[in-house]
Structure 1
Amino acid sequence: MTTLSIFDAHNPEATPTVTREAGEISRLLQARGVRFERWPTRELPADAAPEQILETYSAEIAKLKAESGFQTADVVSLNPDNPQKETFRKKFLDEHTHSEDEVRFFVRGQGIFYLHLGDQVFAVQCRKNDLISVPQGTRHWFDMGPEPEFTCIRLFTNPEGWVADFTGEEIAARLPRFEELEGAAV
C-alpha cells in the first residue's frame, strides 16, 4: 500500500503525519505541485525486457510525452541479487535537484521518494501502479532499500537521462531510511 509520511524538516525525530489513502496522498502532493496518480498495470513476465515494457505502456508514455514535452523514456530495474545494489542505492540517497521533472511509473516493486518541500519532508513510499512526477528544482532523494526490487519507467526531456545537482545538505541522513519506513507501513 502506498504510504505518505510527512516529517518536520527541522525536527525529523518528531512523529510524522501518515496517510495511506491514495486520494489524500494525491491531494496533499498536488497542493505542493507534485503529480501523483495511480495507474493500472498490466501483467508482464518477471523477466520482461525493457523494450517489451515500453511497448506495453506505449500509449501512456506517448500521452506523458505530449503533455510535458518529454523526449525519451527508458526502464530502470533492480533486484536484490544485483552485486552493485549498494552502489546504486548510495547514488540516490543524498539530497539533489534536477533541471527537469523526474517522472517514475512503478511497474513493479517499490521505493521511497523524499521531497524536501519548505519546512516539511514528504516521504512517498511508491509501489506498483504509482506514477510520481517531482517538479524540476525540487530538493529530493530516493531510497530503494537494502534489497531493492523495482521496475520503473522513466521519462526525460534531456536525452542524456538522469543528471543530478547535489545540494550538499545532510537532511537525508537525519530522516528514517527505507528499512524503518517500510516496517512502519506494514
Structure 2
Amino acid sequence: MSRLQIFDLSQPQQARFSSSDAAEIAAKLQQQGIRFEQWQAAAPISAGSSSEQVLSAYAADISRLKAEQGYQTVDVISLHPAHPDKDALRQKFLDEHIHSEDEVRFFVRGQGLFCLHLGEQVYQVLCQQNDLISVPANTPHWFDMGSAPDFTAIRLFNNPAGWVAHFTGTTLARQFPLLD
C-alpha cells in the first residue's frame, strides 16, 4: 500500500504526518508541486513481461504524460534481489541529489521509497505497484530500493541521455528511515 510520511528536519525518526490514502497522498504532494497518480494496465502483465509488453500495457497513460510534459524518451528498468550490483546501485541512489529535469517513475511492480527534501521537511513517498511519481527538476531527494530490490518501473525523460544526478554533498539522507 502506498504511503506518505512527512518529517520535520529536526525530528528525522518521528513522522508528523502519515497517510496511505492515495487521494490524500496526491493532494499533499500536489501542494508541493509533486505529481502522484495511479495507473492501471490495459493488458495483463507479469514479472516476466518484456519491456515492449509493459510499455504497451500503459501506452495511453505514457502518451498522455509525454504530451502534457514534453518527455522525449521512455524506458523500462527492472531490478531483482539476485542482481550482482544491487548493493552498489542502492548506495548510489541513497545520497541526496538533484536533476536538471523531472524524475518520473511509474511502478509496474514492486516498490521504492522516494525521499524529498522540501524546505524544512522531508516527504517520504513509498511508491508501489500502479504508482507514478514525478519529482520536479532541481528538487533535492534520494531513493531507496531496499536491501533486496525487486521492482519494474517505467521511466520518462526530457533528456535523451537519461538519468543524470548532481549530488548535493549533504549527509541529511542518512538521518531518516530507510525502506527496510
TM-score over 0.5 for the pair: yes
1:42-121 aligned at under 5 Å gives the runs 42-121=43-122
Q: Please state how far the C-alpha of 1:87 moved relative to its aligned partner.
A: 1.0
Counterpart for residue 33 of structure 2: 33
Q: Determine if contact 2:5/2:15 at 8 Å carries over to the other structure.
A: no
- Across the aligned residues of Structure 1 and Structure 2, the Cα RMSD in angstroms comes to 1.1
Higher mean alpha-carbon deviation, 34-43 vs 142-151, is at 34-43
Structure 2 CA distance, aligned partners of 1:45 and 1:20? 25
Structure 1 stretch 61-70 or stretch 8-17: which is displaced more?
Answer: 8-17
- Structure 1 CA distance for aligned equivalents of residues 62 and 52 of structure 2: 13
Amino acid in structure 2 at the alignment position of 1:99: S
2:24 pairs with 1:24: yes
Task: Establish whether residue 2 from structure 1 lines up as the match of residue 2 from structure 2.
Answer: yes
Residues 1:160 and 2:161 aligned together: yes
CA distance in 2 between partners of 1:125 and 1:43 (Å): 24
After superposing the two structures, state which structure 1 stretch, 150-159 or 57-66, moved more: 57-66
Overall identity of the aligned pairs, in %: 55
TM-score of the pair, normalised by structure 2: 0.96
| Gapped regions of structure 1 (runs ≥ 5) | 180-186
Q: What is the number of residues matched between the two proteins?
A: 179
- Give me the whole-angstrom Cα distance separating, in 1, the residues matched to 2:138 and 2:128: 24
Question: How far did 1:37 drift?
Answer: 0.6
Distance verdict in 2 for CA 1:25–1:138, change over 3 Å: same
List alignment gaps of at least 5 residues for structure 2: none
